[in-house]
Each structure stands twice: as structure tokens, then as C-alpha cells.
Amino acid sequence: MSSHAHAVPGSNYLNNETGLWSWLKTLDHKRIGVMYLFTILFFFFVGGLFALAIRLELFTPGQTIMDAATYNKVFTYHGAIMVFLVIIPSIPAALGNFVLPMMLGAKDVAFPRLNLMSYYIYILGAVVALSSLFLNGVDTGWTFYTPYSIRASSGTIMVVLGAFIAGFSSILTGLNFIVTTHKLRAPGLSWSRLPLFCWALYATSIIQVLATPVLAITLLLLIAERVLKIGIFDPALGGDAVLFQHFFWFYSHPAVYIMILPGLGVISELIPVFSRKPIFGYRAIAYSSFGIALIAFIVWGHHLFVSGQSEMANFIFSLLTMFVAVPTGIKVFSWVATLYRGSIRFNVPMLYALGFLELFTIGGLTGVFLATLAIDVHLTDTYFVIAHFHYVMVGGTLMAMTGGIHYWFPKMTGRMYSEKSALWAFILILIGFNVTFFPQFIVGAQGMPRRYWYYLPEYTTLNQISTVGSWFLLAGFVWVAIYLWQAIKSGEKAPNNPWEALTLEWQSPSPPPLENFEETPTVTSWPYEYRPEPSKA
Amino acid sequence: MVLTLLFEALSSIFMGEALAATVPLQGTDVAGSWDQLYFFLVWLSVFFFVLVVGGMLYFAVKYRKSVAPRTKYITDNHLIEAVWTVIPAILLMVIFGWGYNVYVKMTQAPADAYEVRVIGKQWLWQFQYDDGRTTIGELYVPVNKPVKLVMTSEDVIHSFFIPNFRVKQDVVPQMYTSVWFHATIPGKHQVFCTEYCGGSHSQMAAKVIVLDDQQWLSWKMGRKIDLTTLPTQGVGDDALAAAVERETEAKKASAVGKPGSVQLTGLAQEGKSLMQAKGCIACHSFDGAKMTGPTLKGVFDHDVELADGSKVKADENYLRESIENPNAKVVKGFSPVMPMFKGLISETEMNAVIAYIKTLKE
């Protein structure tokens, strides 16, 4: 901890120490956050290439660029990379690591060494998972359903093991955030003054700590079954094939909220800042995060409506699932109400927040379709489901993440980006997203199943529209990468608080010094105290 | 039900043909109930989308910084928060109840339903009837009578999905699951496998052949049904699929500068149709492409290298053995995953299939 003790005056966390080694052994939450961010963006790029390959193959009903066996591997890697290596760690590990301690007025997370260890565990998980590429690849789909996954190629074990390892990174980050939020809040920062992003990360962390061990156990049982031939999930060995689905979704459904809750937290920060108004319904938004986290644990069975699970179970799970929509609706309505009588600025982060609202509303409403028993029977395992969760995971989480990156970019780098460039990239992404995924609702309702290399020629037009949309998305994200890189290299110097926000991280210089604040801040009001005064800017 | 009446009033206003085309054909009464609920949800979603996104855009424009420099300090409002908690909760309960109601209709088969056994295996559907007959890829059922399928799998999990009937059920090894329907439109209805099952998952298709009373009587008496005379209902148009196949073949032929398709004899033509119906094409290509199984192009009368390194000439007897008992001599580089067709293919069918394979020259 010696480096923590001597911060050179006037230096910041980026230039305090230099060289690759200073990054690899850093205990600074900000540097770890930045390392996560670049690693996650790298995997987003890789997962994105797989997505483009999927869309290109589906440009025609039969073979376009690859055979069925290759296609099955491509969609498996797309799903596994995007879920386990991108979306689950995305906002908590990258933005959360950087922002949470600063929002709390702390010098670092509670356990800086554990934080660095989480990063290396994540890297180890990724390396182990991707080593499967050299073992014939994996074609089980990211859900690893048994008994297929027990008979599939030996590479399956590596991907499952990789997901198992990466899970520990998730658990440890969650634990770190819980303790940090409890113990390291600045003087005066009571729970009722906690920024909503911190509330969302706190709720997320609880799910990470409680649910991820179940995935770990499940994946370990799967490996044990494959290696030791113990009958757990494979009927041929006396196991129960559907049991795996229960275990898997007992984690993976709460994991959906690990993926989306932090995004909801980001939006709750962006909307009041750029509306110059207090967030509407602070308490309701904070509690609804916990409402969602709680319900998350008791709705896994809605993934199994046609699995052969009993009708009574279907009745209960459908009923419980409906209640997810209530706290989610509360959040959405509260965000819209925050805009009312505000003084709205259309800076880039705000554009992403508004774009998020459009996409997340569609994602949420189509979730109600799938919660409805009879409707799900026809729609499950079709492209309707694909469209639904991409609207939530990409339209929701990734839009929030991109908005969050644009919001905290000046703080992280000390530079501003070109807002004009950013506007065009945003438009490309928003249009590209809708063109890619909206047609999938229709083609899914018409019956096209997911994970199909060959599809009926009747579905061609909608698939081609979707593929063209994916090129817009590609162009949009490449554009973002280009202007953000230029901004890092030669952007204008960023002021300490370019958005005139009230949360604590903006009271620190941009970029922040080693231990975040020159002196520990004292909090005297809640973070959304935007009083009606004529705007200064 | 009041809601149903309301829905019908609304649907007459809003539901054009274009909207109806966004869901499959209504092949059963249950499909009709499903569509009512689905379009109710569609319009409810449109309403909430306009409310939320319309409200968002309206506020964003009306209170933009340039025209609204002064804000109003509002932190909450318990009444409106109660409204947007309670009203959605009530609506969701209505949707749940309605959904469960249709679900019960979908899953509770009448006691007098005609039963057919279904076996899913990588990558075909097999159907077993009361009289001992077995078909592959074609499920023969009567129109206007309830039909119940009792299903199981020989290997991994599959899922039996008939879009026109809005029913779907996973097919699980070592257990029985069931699905039922009451088809109202004679003709061919598409079946998909909707639980990912490996290599040729997307080609694991079948057709429900819904027969009118006369055709059903003739099928019961053991006569063959001429499928070419039956219309395709909804998606799964054979003519369209054939057009795509021809286009692909023409593309490939022009790429290598070879002439297009060869004129087939009646027997070979029948063999080709059989191979489509029985699901052979899920894994075997006719054009040299490597799929889950070896291509059949140029295989006849040529040496084939087996997994143990030995060679065997692919004559009629080898082809026959490889169809009836595929694991006896597995081709090098492929896995022993093909199901046994012994007892599932008649001598006349075998002759037709081999006749077609013979036409697939290099």
C-alpha cells in the first residue's frame, strides 16, 4: 500500500505511476475499473464479430458463408462471450469499480487486493473458456442444456469451467461493493442520500453473492457428470434432464437482473442531471431495485413453461413473473415524470438515456407477452425471445453502459469528446438496433425458431432487414470507438464537473488524484438537489 | 367476457390483413383464442409505448433548455405513484388470468382424443400409430377430431412445435410429455424442432398431414396418400423451398461451370422425395457439401474410407446396410449419430432411395 500513501500533489491516477507493470499490479479501483472497461470492450468486439457472422449467415435461408456445424459454434460463442464476459461484468466491474467509491466519497473499495484478484479471476475464466476453441469448439448454446452438453465435444468442459471461474470474480466484486457501501460512505452520506446508481449496484451485488454460487455448483455437477459418469442430469445414467434447467435458471434468471439493474442505476443518474431536476420518486426507485432483486429469485420457472414441468408450477411461475413488471414500470414512469417541468439538455449521455427508454420499454412490454402462459407456449424458443432479450440486454444494458461511458468519460480521462460526432454515432446505433431486432419479433411470432442455421424461405425478407440493421450497428460502434480514441489522444481538457452534477465524483479533479479526493468530502444534502435557478451554462 | 367483446370491437377497427400476417395461419380453434390474447397484448403494448415514449418525447421537447430555463422542484407525488403501481398490477392480473385460461384449453386434451406416439431423435421425427404403422417426417391425422401426441426422445431434448396450431412441447428422453390439437384445416402444416439438439437441429422438420374424412378413411385402410395434391397451409411451402434449392444449385453450377440438374426417372424422383420426407436431407447433402453426415454426391460405386481406416465399396448392399444399421460401417471423420432405419423403410422405398443416390454423380 506504499503507493497509496504518497500521492504527489498535482498528479492524477493516470500519471502518478506509469508503465504496464504499474497497471498490472495496481490496487487503485479507478485503474482496475479502466482495465475492466478495456477488457470488456475487447470481448464486446469479439462477441460482436460472432454476431455479425450470425446475421450474415442468415442473409439467405440455406448456406451463405458457413456450414451448420460452424454456425452452431458461432452462436454458442456469441452468447457465452456476451453473457459471461461482457454483460454480466459490464457496468458493475467497469463503471461501478471506477464510480462507486467516488460516489461514496471513499478512497478506494473496501478490499483493493480482492478487487485486483477479481480482475485476474475474470481473465483466467475468459482464457479457460476460450481455450475450448482449440478443442473442437463448443456447439451447445450458452445455456449448456443437458443431456446434449454431456455428449457434446470435450471443449464444452472448458467453457463450463471458464464460466465457473468467472463466477467467482462476480461474487468477489459483489462482496467488495456491499462492504464498501456499508463501511466507506463519506460523513453525512446517509442511506437516504445514497445516489441511485449506488443503490442499484448494491441490489445487484446481493444477487451476485447469493445466486452465483448456484451456477458454480450446477456447472461443477455438469463437469462431474461428464468426467466421472455420475448420473445427475443425463437420463441415460439415471439422471433428470430437466433438473439442469431448474438449476441453471435458478442462477441465470437472477443473472438477468445482474445484467440490467446497474443499467437502470445509470439511467437514474443521467436523467436528473440533464433535466436539472430532482429524480422523481427517489425512494420508489431505490426500493424497486430491491423489489426486482427479490422477485428475481422466484421466477426461474418461466423459462420452463414447455419443458414438461407441472401445470401447477407453470401457474405459479407465470403469476409471480407478472410482478416483475410492477417495480420495472415504477422506474420507467418515474424517469418520464422527472422530465416534466425540467430544463432538458440534450448532451450525449442524455440521448443514450432517452434511447434507452425507448428500447427498454419495448423490451419490458414484450416481457409481459412471454410471462403470459399461453402466449409463451407459441413464442418460446423462437426469434421473439431473441428480440425480447436483445431489447433488454443490448437496448437496455448496453445503451445504459454506452451512455454511462459518455457521462463519466471526462472524469476518467480528463478529456472531452466531440459531441457532434457522438450524435451521429448515436443515431446510427439507435436506428441500427431497431432495424436489426424489431423484425425478429415478427419473424418469431410467425414461428421461426431460434438457433436455426436453415430457415424456411418465407422468413427471408425479415431476416435480410435484420442483417442490414446489424451493419448500421457495426458502423455506429466503430464510430464511437474512433472518436473516443481521438478524444483520449487529443480531446479538449475536461473541466472537473462538465455536466454540473451533484454526486461526489464530480467534486474531484478530472482525472481524479490517486485517492480520489484532496480531502474527504462531507455530504450535506441528497444528490438530486437541483433547485430551480436559471441555468448558468 | 367483456374483454373479448371489447377486443372484437377493437380488432375490427385495427386488425387489417397486414397485421394478421404477422402470426401464422389459424389451424385450430385454440390458435384463434391465442391470437385474440396476443393482439390484445400488442395493442396494450402500443398504448403503453405511446404513453411512455410519447410522454418522454413531449416533455423533452416542451421542457428543452432553450424554452424552459426554470425548473420546478418536484420530488414525488404519492397519488400518481399509487396510480402507476396499482393500475399496471391489476392489468397484469387480468393478463395472467386470460393467459392461464387459454393455456388450460391448450393443454387439457379431451378424453376421446385420437392418440399417436411421437419419437424424436437426432434429427428426425417418427410417428407410431395404433395399427402398428410408423411414419417418419409425416404425421397423419384426421381433420376436426382431437389428436393427442404422446412423445418421448431417444437421445437429447427436442421440442415439437406446430406454429399453425400455436402448440409446443419439449420432448424429453426417458419420460413422456404430450401435446394435443384439434385441426380445422386439411392440408400440410409445418412442424419445427425448437429445442436445440445439435448438428442438424434446424433441419429437424416434419409436416402434420391433416386429412379430410375421405382421405382419412383411405389412410386408415392402408392406402397411400398423394401428398402432392394436398395444399401447404401457412409457412413450409414445398414449392418455395424447392425454388430456393434450385437457385442454390444453379448458383453452384454456374460457379463451377457445370450444367444444372439432370432429368430424373420416376423411381429416382420418388427416392428424392422420400429422402426429404424421412429427414435424410437434415444431415446428408446431394451436392458435395459437408454436413453432419457425409454427402451422397458421387458416393455410389466409389470406395469409402471407414473410421477404422479400412475401405469399402459403396455398392447397393453397402448403402442398404448403412441405411438400416448405420453404425455398422461409419465413414471416417463422422460420428455414429444416425438413427437405425431397419423396419422403418420398406423394400420399395429402399429401391427408390438407392435409385436416387445412383443419380448423384461427381
Q: Do A322 and B96 touch (CB under 8 A)?
A: yes
Q: How confident is the model at residue B108 (pLDDT cuts 50, 70, 90)?
A: very high
**Which three-class secondary structure state does DSSP give residue B210?**
strand
Q: Do A346 and B64 touch (CB under 8 A)?
A: yes
Say yes or no: B35 contacts chain A, CB-CB below 8 A: no
Residue A537 lies in a domain: no
Q: How confident is the model at residue B253 (pLDDT cuts 50, 70, 90)?
A: low
Say yes or no: A308 contacts chain B, CB-CB below 8 A: yes
Q: Residue A495 — φ and ψ, nearest 5°?
A: -70, 170
For an interface test with A, the pick among B45, B156, B203, B290 (most A C-beta atoms closer than 10 Å) comes out as: B156
Cross-chain CB nearest to B157 (options A241, A442, A459) = A241
pLDDT of residue B103: 97
Above 80 in pLDDT, residue A12?
Answer: yes
For residue A345, give the CATH number of its domain.
Answer: 1.20.210.10
The total number of structural domains that make up chain A: 1
The average pLDDT across A426-447 equals: 97
Residue A14 lies in a domain: no
State how far the Cα of A85 lies from the Cα of A39, in Å rounded to an integer: 9
Query: Do B203 and B282 contact (CB within 8 A), yes or no?
Result: yes
Residue A15 lies in a domain: no
Of the listed ranges A5-14, B128-137, B307-316, the one predicted with least confidence? A5-14
Q: How confident is the model at residue B285 (pLDDT cuts 50, 70, 90)?
A: confident
Q: Do B168 and A147 touch (CB under 8 A)?
A: no
pLDDT tens, position by position, A374-384: 999 999 999 99
Above 50 in pLDDT, residue A215?
Answer: yes
Q: Could you tell me which of B200, B355, B219 has the C-alpha nearest to residue B291?
A: B200
- Contacts with A377 from chain B: Cβ below 8 Å: 103, 106, 166-168
The pLDDT > 70 percentage for chain B reads 91
The average pLDDT across A225-252 equals: 91
- Which positions 226-285 of B are in contact with A (Cβ < 8 Å)? 235-237, 240-241, 243-245, 248
Say yes or no: B103 contacts chain A, CB-CB below 8 A: yes
Pairing of strands B311-313, B303-305: antiparallel
pLDDT of residue A316: 96
The average pLDDT across B318-332 equals: 88
- Delimit the domains of chain B by residue range: 2-107, 114-229, 258-359
Alpha-carbon radius of gyration of chain B = 27
Say yes or no: B100 contacts chain A, CB-CB below 8 A: yes
Q: Does domain B114-229 have CATH number 2.40.100.20?
A: no
What is the DSSP-derived secondary structure letter of residue B4? H
Query: Count of CB atoms within 10 A of residue A479's CB?
Result: 17
Q: Could you tell me which of B160, B171, B314 has the C-alpha nearest to residue A242?
A: B171
Task: At B78, list the grid cell.
Answer: 404519492
Say yes or no: A498 contacts chain B, CB-CB below 8 A: no
Q: What is the DSSP track for B52-118? A: IIIHHHHHHHHTBTTT--S-------HHHHHHHHHHHHHHHHHHHHHHHHHHHHHH---TTPEEEEE
Say yes or no: A385 contacts chain B, CB-CB below 8 A: no
Pairwise pLDDT comparison (A229 vs A30), residue with the higher score? A30
Query: Count of CB atoms within 10 A of residue A294's CB?
Result: 16
A146-149 long-range contacts (CB < 8 A, ≥24 apart) are A146/A222, A146/A225, A146/A233, A146/A234, A146/A239, A146/A241, A146/A244, A146/B157, A147/A233, A147/A234, A147/A235, A147/A236, A147/A239, A147/A241, A147/B155, A147/B156, A147/B157, A147/B173, A148/B156, A148/B157, A148/B196, A148/B197, A148/B198, A149/A222
- Contacts with B241 from chain A: Cβ below 8 Å: 456-457
Of the listed ranges A47-61, A74-88, B18-32, B39-53, the one predicted with least confidence? B18-32
- Contacts with A362 from chain B: Cβ below 8 Å: 45, 49
Instruction: Count how many pairs of residues, chain A against chain B, have C-beta atoms within 8 Å.
Output: 295
Above 60 in pLDDT, residue B257?
Answer: no
Q: How confident is the model at residue A54 (pLDDT cuts 50, 70, 90)?
A: very high
- Min distance B354 CA to chain A CA atoms (Å): 25
Cross-chain CB nearest to B70 (options A330, A458, A534) = A534
Query: Do B93 and A342 contact (CB within 8 A), yes or no?
Result: no
pLDDT tens, position by position, A322-364: 999 999 999 999 999 999 999 999 999 999 999 999 999 999 9
The average pLDDT across A367-371 equals: 97
For an interface test with B, the pick among A66, A73, A78, A148 (most B C-beta atoms closer than 10 Å) comes out as: A148
* ipTM metric: 0.93
Kindly report the average pLDDT of chain B as a whole number.
Answer: 89
- Contacts with A279 from chain B: Cβ below 8 Å: 75
CATH of segment(s) B258-359:
1.10.760.10
Say yes or no: A42 contacts chain B, CB-CB below 8 A: no
Residue A536 lies in a domain: no
Above 90 in pLDDT, residue A46?
Answer: yes
Pairwise pLDDT comparison (B121 vs B277), residue with the higher score? B121
Domain ranges, residue A92: 29-507
Let me know the angle formed at the C-alpha of A142 by A139 and A143, rounded to the nearest 5 degrees. Answer: 110
Q: Do B74 and A531 touch (CB under 8 A)?
A: no
- Contacts with B249 from chain A: Cβ below 8 Å: none
Of the listed ranges A103-107, B215-219, B264-268, the one predicted with least confidence? B264-268
pLDDT tens, position by position, B139-164: 999 999 999 999 999 999 999 999 99
pLDDT of residue A2: 40
Fold of B2-107: Helix Hairpins (1.10.287)
Say yes or no: B9 contacts chain A, CB-CB below 8 A: no
pLDDT of residue A535: 46
Task: At A170, list the grid cell.
Answer: 462476480
Above 90 in pLDDT, residue A302?
Answer: yes
Residue A202 lies in a domain: yes
Let me know the angle formed at the C-alpha of A384 by A383 and A390, rounded to the nearest 5 degrees. Answer: 85
Task: At B62, list the grid cell.
Answer: 416542451
Q: How confident is the model at residue B337 (pLDDT cuts 50, 70, 90)?
A: confident
Nearest residue of A to residue B177 by CA position?
A: A308
Q: Do A341 and B74 touch (CB under 8 A)?
A: yes
Above 50 in pLDDT, residue A406?
Answer: yes
Residue A8 lies in a domain: no
Cross-chain CB nearest to A381 (options B53, B72, B194) = B194
- Write down the pTM of the prediction: 0.91
pLDDT of residue A3: 43
Say yes or no: B157 contacts chain A, CB-CB below 8 A: yes
Q: Do B202 and A372 touch (CB under 8 A)?
A: no
- Which positions 229-248 of A are in contact with B (Cβ < 8 Å)? 235-236, 241-242
pLDDT of residue A11: 87
Residue A395 lies in a domain: yes
Residue A17 lies in a domain: no
Q: How confident is the model at residue A4 (pLDDT cuts 50, 70, 90)?
A: very low
pLDDT tens, position by position, A489-498: 999 999 999 9
State how far the Cα of A30 lies from the Cα of A448, in Å rounded to an integer: 45
Above 80 in pLDDT, residue B207?
Answer: yes
Q: Do A308 and B177 touch (CB under 8 A)?
A: yes
The average pLDDT across B45-54 equals: 96
Say yes or no: B38 contacts chain A, CB-CB below 8 A: yes
Q: Do A68 and B157 touch (CB under 8 A)?
A: no
- Contacts with A360 from chain B: Cβ below 8 Å: none
pLDDT of residue A5: 45
Say yes or no: A299 contacts chain B, CB-CB below 8 A: no
Say yes or no: A445 contacts chain B, CB-CB below 8 A: yes
